[in-house]
Amino acid sequence: MFDEREEQEKLTQKESIAKEIDNKIERIDEEIEVITVRQTEIINHIQKLENAIQHFSNLIEIEKDRDKRSRYYNIISHNIELLAKLYSVYREFEDVKNKYFKESNDLLISKIRIINIELEKIQKDIEDTNLLLSQMVDNFNNNQQNIKESDDLLKDQKYEI
C-alpha cells in the first residue's frame, strides 16, 4: 500500500516536471515567434532606409544647389546612423533568439534524460520480472517432477487392506 502511494507520488511528480518543461518550451517558442516578427519589422525598416539613402544619393548626383546637397548628405548621414542602430537591434534580437534556442534545447535534453531514466527503470523492472517468472517456471517444473515422482512411488507400493 505504501509502495503504491509512493510510486503514485513519484509518477505525479514526474508528470508535473514533464508538464513544466513542456510549458517552458512553449513559452520560449512563443517568445522566439515574437522576436522573429520584430526582426521582420526591423528588416522592413532597414529596406526602407536603404531605399531612402539610395534615393537621396541619386538626388545629390543631380542637384546643383549646394545647400540642398548638404541637407541630403545630412539626411543620408542620419539614415546611416539609424541603419547602424537597427542592425545592432537586429543582432541583439538574434542573440536573444539563440539564447532561447539553447534554453529550449537544454530543456528538451533534460526531458530526454528523464525519459531515459524511466526507460532504464522499466527495463530493470522487466528484467526483474523475467527473472522472477523464470524462477516461478523452474519451481513449477520442480514441483511437477516431485509430484510425478511421488505418484510413481505410490504406484510402486502395494497397500494391503
Is residue 9, in this structure, part of any structural domain at all? yes
Predicted TM-score (pTM) above 0.75: no
Under a CB-based contact definition with an 8 Å cutoff, are residues 97 and 31 in contact? no
The reported pLDDT for the residue numbered 125 is: 84
The reported pLDDT for the residue numbered 158 is: 59
The whole domain housing 32 covers 2-113
Under a CB-based contact definition with an 8 Å cutoff, are residues 114 and 14 in contact? yes
Is residue 26, in this structure, part of any structural domain at all? yes
Is residue 126, in this structure, part of any structural domain at all? no
Is residue 102, in this structure, part of any structural domain at all? yes
The reported pLDDT for the residue numbered 156 is: 65
Q: Which range has the worst mean pLDDT, 34-43, 47-56, 122-131?
A: 122-131
C-alpha atoms less than 13 angstroms from C-alpha of 92 in its C-beta half-sphere? 8
Extract long-range pairs of 17-22: CB within 8 Å, 24+ residues apart.
Answer: 17/114, 18/111, 18/114, 21/107, 21/108, 21/110, 21/111, 22/111
Is residue 148, in this structure, part of any structural domain at all? no
Is residue 51, in this structure, part of any structural domain at all? yes
Mean pLDDT for the chain overall: 86
pLDDT in tens, 69-102: 999 999 999 999 999 999 999 999 999 999 999 9
User: Residue 122, SS3?
Assistant: helix
Q: Is the pLDDT of residue 157 over 70?
A: no
Instruction: Give the number of domains in the chain.
Output: 1
Q: At 156, list the grid cell.
A: 510402486
Rounded distance, CA 65 to CA 53, Å? 19
Q: Which range has the worst mean pLDDT, 5-19, 23-37, 54-68, 97-111?
A: 5-19
CA distances, 89 to each of 18, 85, 94, 95 (Å) = 34, 6, 9, 10
DSSP 28-49: HHHHHHHHHHHHHHHHHHHHHH
Position 96, amino acid: V
pLDDT in tens, 115-133: 888 888 888 888 888 888 8
Q: At 62, list the grid cell.
A: 543631380
